[in-house]
Amino acid sequence: MKEKFNPYDFHEKILENIDYDWKVIVIAKENKEEALKLIRQLGMLSLVGDDFNVSILNLISGFAATIFGRNLLKLAQAECISAIWYVDEGIYKLYVRTIKSLEDLFNKLPHEPVVVSISLSPSEDLIPMPYNPEEPINIAIRIAAENNKIIVFAAGNFGPKENTLNPWSLAPWVFSVGAASKDGNLLARFSSRGCTSDIFNRPTVVAPGIDIITTHPPDTPKNKIQLEAEKRIGFYEKVKKEDWPSYTVVSGTSIATPHVSRIVGLIMHYLLNMLDEYKKDKGTMPRSFAQIYTHDQTMKFDERVTSQRLVGNYKDFGNVRIVKYPLGEPFPLIIKQILMDMAIGIANYKPHEVGAGFINIEIATHYFGKYGEPNPELFIYKVIE
């Protein structure tokens, strides 16, 4: 019974607070109807949003619920229950809503390639937190990625210490995005770092995420940090006076993430058009395609662009790198490798800090702008803060 509770110390917490209402996600085995019946008996189904829809998470064969500690102990004894996951109360609604959003997307567009941008992380007191492939949100992300959904995730704002990356951004098929200055020369101090000893615990790339002018709800007062940032960057000279209430200045990996999502959409748009063009010309689909990168590769120290690549192989000719990408690999892995190959190395920073390097829309347009901007249908932004 004890092994059904996650994370590892959840069982002990329940025993200490047996009459507490715990926010949990319950994963069922094959008999989901029996599991739902038990949850209705032992707890109150979670309400997410204002429409009072019960949180039945079909994508992961799970249920979001609020249940007394003593009833959780009873629930764990049931054969139809596979696992019980505790979710921090501060992010519970957003956590469940993220899974529901991925489920809705999967139902509407089961296999179509779509970019999903997510800015959600555990609370800082839970960091460092290891990546667990069996965690509910990671199961939902894996299923989405297996069906051509490109998941772009904020790396977190818990830097500059090592081993502070958002664990939900660490799956091989997820794009983990850190924050840097607009020119790519400076890594944001707050941008979460990975581990020097673990090639898989590092961001994918970093993108502009310091002092970015972005939209702001005009009826919402701006906070002190935003007002100070506006003064610092000359906001009032750059933005028309009538637009001041609708815009502000923001920093964070959550603002760098949609920038990378736009780049991913551009790459997808290029590939889809390139493949369509090839098929019309040759009557068949290519097995691979080659891309030439002409920028300096000497400052890129991430093994994921050399000896530990996700897909493809390369040859260097001076500063020119020619990469051959096999098209039989999963779409998310191909695009993730392209993103890392295209990134620009940053002097004085290591891979666990910046991943493969810096990327912005100008760099991406240089290499993949042949067919113009992507169609809006490629994007379903779920930016959650």
Tokens standing for residue 85: 């996951």
- Asked if the structure places residue 97 within a domain, the reply is no
Q: Please state the rounded mean pLDDT for residues 1-21.
A: 88
- Asked if the structure places residue 14 within a domain, the reply is yes
pLDDT at 242 over 50: yes
Best-predicted range by mean pLDDT among 15-19, 109-113, 284-288, 350-354? 350-354
Domain span including residue 216: 212-250
How sure is the predictor about 83, in pLDDT bands with cuts at 50, 70 and 90? Answer: very high
What local confidence, expressed as pLDDT, does residue 52 receive? 37
H-assigned helices in 224-346: 224-233, 235-238, 253-282, 331-342
How do 56-57 and 114-118 pair as beta strands?
unpaired
- Asked if the structure places residue 234 within a domain, the reply is yes
How sure is the predictor about 379, in pLDDT bands with cuts at 50, 70 and 90? Answer: low
* Best CA proximity match to 127, nearest among 181, 165, 92, 94: 165
What local confidence, expressed as pLDDT, does residue 44 receive? 64
Cβ neighbours of 223 (radius 10 Å): 10
Cα–Cα distance between 3 and 83 in angstroms, integer?
Answer: 8
Cβ atoms of 356 and 203 closer than 8 Å: no
- Asked if the structure places residue 15 within a domain, the reply is yes
What local confidence, expressed as pLDDT, does residue 55 receive? 80
Question: Which pLDDT tens digit goes with each residue over 84-133?
Answer: 999 998 899 899 999 999 999 999 999 888 999 999 999 999 899 999 99
Domain finish residue from 224, 250, 276: 250
- Asked if the structure places residue 131 within a domain, the reply is no
What local confidence, expressed as pLDDT, does residue 372 receive? 87
CA–chain centroid gap for 262, Å, is 13
Task: With residue 114 as reference, give the H or E element that holds it.
Answer: strand 114-118
Cα–Cα distance between 357 and 147 in angstroms, integer?
Answer: 27
pLDDT at 53 over 60: no
- Asked if the structure places residue 8 within a domain, the reply is yes
Tokens standing for residue 282: 């040759």
What local confidence, expressed as pLDDT, does residue 299 receive? 84
The residue type of 12 is E
Tokens standing for residue 260: 């990378």
Model pTM score: 0.91
Domain finish residue from 69, 86, 103: 86
pLDDT at 50 over 50: no
Cβ atoms of 231 and 193 closer than 8 Å: no
pLDDT at 229 over 90: yes
Q: Exposed/middle/buried for 369, CB within 10 Å: 0-12, 13-18, 19+? A: middle
Token pair 């002092």 in the structure block, residue: 211
What local confidence, expressed as pLDDT, does residue 377 receive? 60
Token pair 């920038």 in the structure block, residue: 259
- Asked if the structure places residue 324 within a domain, the reply is no
- Asked if the structure places residue 340 within a domain, the reply is no
The CATH number assigned to the domain holding 72 equals 3.30.70.80
- Between 160 and 381, the higher pLDDT residue: 160
Domain finish residue from 33, 59, 86: 86
The number of domains in the chain is 2
pLDDT at 376 over 70: no
Task: With residue 101 as reference, give the H or E element that holds it.
Answer: helix 92-108
What local confidence, expressed as pLDDT, does residue 264 receive? 95
